[in-house]
């Protein structure tokens, strides 16, 4: 944590608006519209809702079996 790159620290300023004219802001562009408005329909969260509880139950069963 000693060598923190100052480029990756929070500045507290407002986020950049959606980029509409990339050519004029090539040096420091804002995010593209799809990056901001895209829905996360098939994200990893849907799988984790089912996988994590099952793994926890299996882990508890194994732990209780190995404990005796």
Position 57 scores a pLDDT of 97
Position 7 scores a pLDDT of 67
Residue that is written with structure tokens 């995010």 in the block: 31
- What stretches of the chain show up as alpha helix (H) in DSSP? 33-37, 44-67
Whether 19 is covered by a domain: the verdict is: no
* Domain enclosing residue 61, as ranges: 44-68
Position 16 scores a pLDDT of 79
Whether 54 is covered by a domain: the verdict is: yes
Whether 17 is covered by a domain: the verdict is: no
Whether 25 is covered by a domain: the verdict is: no
Whether 28 is covered by a domain: the verdict is: no
User: What's the structural domain count of the chain?
Assistant: 1
pLDDT by residue for the chain (68 residues), tens digit each?
Answer: 566 666 666 667 777 778 788 788 788 888 888 888 888 777 777 788 889 999 999 999 999 999 86
Whether 20 is covered by a domain: the verdict is: no
Position 62 scores a pLDDT of 95
Position 36 scores a pLDDT of 81
Whether 53 is covered by a domain: the verdict is: yes
For the entire predicted model, the pTM comes to 0.41
């Amino acid at each position: 944590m000693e060598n923190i790159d100052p480029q990756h620290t929070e500045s507290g300023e407002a986020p950049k608006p959606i980029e509409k004219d990339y050519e004029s802001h090539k040096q420091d562009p804002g995010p593209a519209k799809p990056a901001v408005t895209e829905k996360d329909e098939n994200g990893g969260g849907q799988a984790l809702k089912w996988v994590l509880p099952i793994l926890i139950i299996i882990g508890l069963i194994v732990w209780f079996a190995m404990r005796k």
